[in-house]
Structure 1
Amino acid sequence: MEGLRLIVGLGNPGSEHARTRHNAGFRFIDALADKAGGRFGLDSKLFGETTKIDFAGRDLWLLKPATFMNLSGKSVAAALRYWKIEPEQALLAHDELDLPPGVARLKFDGGHGGQNGLRDTMRLLGHGRFHRLRIGIGHPGHKDRVTPWVLGRASLADDALIERAIADALDVLPLAVQGNFMDAMTRLHTPRE
């Protein structure tokens, strides 16, 4: 399988959203940019902040949509068109209610699972054939509590677990960038001793 050319972190812009559970994707992309020395700058034609990095021996575009989560697809679709990147060469990092904090999982294709950034991206692309990095934030236990949960801040313990999941995902990312998705998944999905 081809390697990655674009990694998108999904989240909501603005300092008031910075450490919310919903911004796990932004936290991942910020950590990647920091690791690779990338500096984000606003690109109005792509409706987001972008930077280009050299990572795992490849040129890689990073994108943080500035459209708010529910309209993320506008930015993702614009970037894919502008840089002439196939959706299969993109990875979208996002928060995942169905995984506990401390767990990150890679996946290709599938549904949106109620995640509005994925939902909007799939609506505009007409399919879900792109890679996802699912960063666990846990579930509040009842669907009526989901909105305040995702828009709220995690406890200190959960926040530390989310940070660990992001670090684990960064450790296997070079494999995914180079197209070795099965190896990346095996390493990321195997419980640590």
Structure 2
Amino acid sequence: MSTDLWLVVGLGNPGPGYAANRHNVGQMVVAELANRMRATFTSHKANAVVAEGRLVPGGPRFVLAKANTYMNVSGGPVNALMKYYDVAPDHVIVVHDELDIPFDTVKLKAGGGHGGHNGLRDIIGASGSADFIRVRVGIGRPPGRQQAADFVLQNFSSTERETLPNLIVDAADAVELIASEGLTAAQLKVHTAPPA
């Protein structure tokens, strides 16, 4: 197993029609990381696109990945990438949208259940492990009686879009912190609210 390599998967749905949806915020975060690395996504036989590189010279190596499948069947590509790059679950970071966290909030955790998130459910089922790290990007609950499935497949509101670039940067920073300082140190920094 490679110990300086991190597989970072941004969950979402493929194609331009979904690109700006709330459900695709994970892919937005890995795109931000690829920009930082000045890396380009290329096709991989695992039915995904990947970008490889380091964020700092001599730092950890990253494989950034976006599955070519719909989110609820992303487990196959993620499991194939884990095997191809020989990455253990504790060096896999899955970046995903989270309804149970307020918008503009990032939370980090390792392991646990899928919490009703079909992308996580499929990754756990395909890989046989829930021990990967999650960067949970808060999108908040749908307003009124709107169904969650409809809410996540809508684009961010105009008000949210004003803050969204900062949220994406915060989540990308969290990925960097996990790889460079470890999950516990990253949680302390990310979960501690700055003074008002």
TM over 0.5: yes
Provide the aligned length of Structure 1 versus Structure 2. 191
Q: Secondary structure at the match of 2:125?
A: helix
1:132 aligns with 2:134: yes
Alignment of 1:25-40 (within 5 A): 25-40=26-41
Structure 2 unaligned residues grouped into runs of 5+: none
Partner of 1:21: 22
Residue 55 (str. 1) matches residue 63 (str. 2): no
- 2:29 and 2:126 map into 1 onto residues whose CA distance is 24
Shift of 1:114: 1.1
The equivalent of 2:171 in structure 1 is 169
Corresponding residue to 2:71 among 69, 72, 84: 69
CA distance in 2, matches of 1:39, 1:136: 27
Among residues 102, 105, 116, which one is paired with 2:104 in the alignment? 102
Measured against aligned partners, the alpha-carbon deviations of 1:97-151 in whole angstroms (never above 9, x if no partner) come to: 0011100111100011111110000111223100000001111156761111000
Identity of aligned residues (%): 35
Q: Distance in 2 between matches of 1:117 and 1:21?
A: 14
The equivalent residue for 1:9 is 10
Structure 1 unaligned blocks of 5 or more? none
Q: Which amino acid aligns with 1:152?
A: Q
CA contact (8 A) 1:51 1:63 kept: yes
Counterpart CA distance in 1 for 2:145 and 2:95 is 22
Q: Partner residue of 2:81? A: 79
Moved segments of 4+, more than 4 Å: 141-144
Alpha-carbon distance in structure 2 between the residues aligned to 1:3 and 1:34:
21
State TM-score, norm by structure 1. 0.93
**Structure whose residues are more often helix by fraction:** 1
Say what the alpha-carbon RMSD is for the aligned residues: 1.6
Q: Letter of the aligned partner of 1:27 in structure 2?
A: M
TM-score of the two chains, using structure 2 as the length reference: 0.91
